[in-house]
Structure 1
Amino acid sequence: MQAMDIQPNQVTMVSLLTACSQLGVLNIGEWIHNYIDKHKISLNVTLGTALVDMYAKCGNITKALQVFREIPGRNSLIWTAMIHGLALHGHAKESICYFLEMISIGLEPDEVTFIGVLSACCRAGFVDEGRQFFAQMR
């Protein structure tokens, strides 16, 4: 695309970031993030979720949190990505806090969100909290 001077859009960037997160290639994901910033590609919730997911899965939870905080109009998908990322990196308490905050602002957790918070409870040995969240599932 670059050789042909074709400008990528948000969908292109989401696809690239998804590949980076699946392959665990943080350096390329960071390059893509810099490209997004440099070329002023607007950061919508979908692209923001892809960035959060990529940073979390590639091991940079600090950057994932930073991107998460910068995204306006966060939906349940980006909250779920952050909950999973925190759980993955052993931040169970923070994962649970994000889950509870998500609910408190009126967003409905889905099955994937519950998997994230239950994973956090499992990794940290929070049996009672895990049972409470399990009971909340419908």
Structure 2
Amino acid sequence: MNKLSKETYKFQIPSRFEIITFRMTTEVMNLLSGTTENKRGDKISNITLFYDLLSRMAVNAKVSNDFRRPLALRPGQAQYSELRLAEQWQMNRTRLRNLLDRMEQAGLIYTNRSLVGSVMTFPSVLGWSRPDKPYIRNPAFFNAD
């Protein structure tokens, strides 16, 4: 990734949704109300970073070809790369991994890192609806297919 694109990365928001229902604990709210510092010393709100992750979530079953190998995703999952996130967010991988670990410990996300492709699941999302679509219960939360 070139320097210009790193500097101009715009954090995404989950704009495809009309409604998103979350399970929020006090621990989650405290984590999301905090900030994380990037390499340049900028403080980025954790909710901005979580929204950026959430914007990558699949709303339907699909095959993701975003990285080297195709990977089947279920609704409520996203394929991700720590290297790409670290570049986009201007963080070193240690700081990024610590943040993802804190999000996982709080119950916001669940990560499964593998050589085939890393997958993030959003167990904190109970369900969602999109414009003109019915409400979908998150299979990751309700253990349904």
TM over 0.5: no
TM tier, smaller: under 0.3
Rg bigger for which structure?
1
The structure, 1 or 2, with the larger RCO (C-alpha pairs under 8 Å, 6+ apart) is 2
More strand per residue = 2
Larger % of helix: which?
1
TM-score (norm 1): 0.27
